[in-house]
């Protein structure tokens, strides 16, 4: 028996080609998954506007219970809801409301506009959400942006 007998070597690890194949597969998956992920994220962030707009609707009805018209602005609604501001709770949208100009005001519009520079500004077709309430009947536009 020889004291230093050559044992067959085992090769461990990955070759460069195997590594590059894995990198290519991951890149393709990321290119497909990322836009879908961002689309779902924007859709989920719309709930920030929807929740605040629903709160404004409730405040408008409380305002109307005490007055003969709807409030003309979000600032006027702060008299009954002191925590209400012109931006949504998480800050993705800017909100505004306007009552009809005819007296007594029997309709109003609440508008949520995506904040410029945020990812919501890239929410194609849904950067501005609107609720128009006429005689207590709401109309939601654009309709495809309101998940129910």
Residue 69 confidence (pLDDT)? 83
Contacts of 123 (CB under 8 A, 6+ apart): 42, 43, 45, 46, 114
pLDDT tens digits for range 9-38? 777 777 889 899 999 999 999 999 998 898
> What are the residue boundaries of the structural domains of the chain, listed by start?
46-145
Q: What's residue 2's pLDDT?
A: 60
Compute the distance between CA of residue 11 and CA of residue 18 in angstroms, rounded to an integer.
14
- The whole-chain average pLDDT of the chain stands at 86
Q: How many whole angstroms from its chain centre is CA 115?
A: 10
**The dihedral sign for the CA sequence 67, 69, 75, 80:** positive
pLDDT of residue 128: 93
Stretches where the chain sits below pLDDT 50 are none
What are φ and ψ of residue 45, in 5° steps?
Answer: -70, -20
pLDDT value at residue 1: 55
pTM, whole model, 2 decimals? Answer: 0.74
- Supply the pLDDT for residue 14: 79
Q: What is the pLDDT of residue 129?
A: 93
């Amino acid at each position: 028996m020889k004291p230093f007998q050559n044992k067959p070597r085992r090769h461990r690890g990955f070759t460069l080609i195997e590594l590059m194949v894995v990198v290519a597969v991951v890149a393709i998956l990321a290119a497909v998954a990322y836009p879908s992920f961002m689309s779902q994220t924007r859709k989920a962030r719309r709930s920030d506007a929807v929740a605040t707009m629903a709160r404004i609707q409730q405040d408008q009805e409380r305002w109307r219970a005490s007055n003969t018209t709807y409030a003309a602005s979000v600032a006027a609604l702060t008299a009954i809801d002191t925590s209400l501001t012109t931006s949504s709770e998480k800050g993705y949208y800017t909100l505004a409301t306007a009552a009809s100009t005819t007296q007594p005001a029997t309709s109003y519009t609440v508008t949520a506009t995506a904040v410029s520079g945020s990812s919501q500004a890239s929410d194609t077709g849904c950067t501005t959400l609107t609720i128009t309430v006429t005689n207590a009947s709401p109309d939601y536009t654009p309709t495809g942006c309101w998940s129910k």
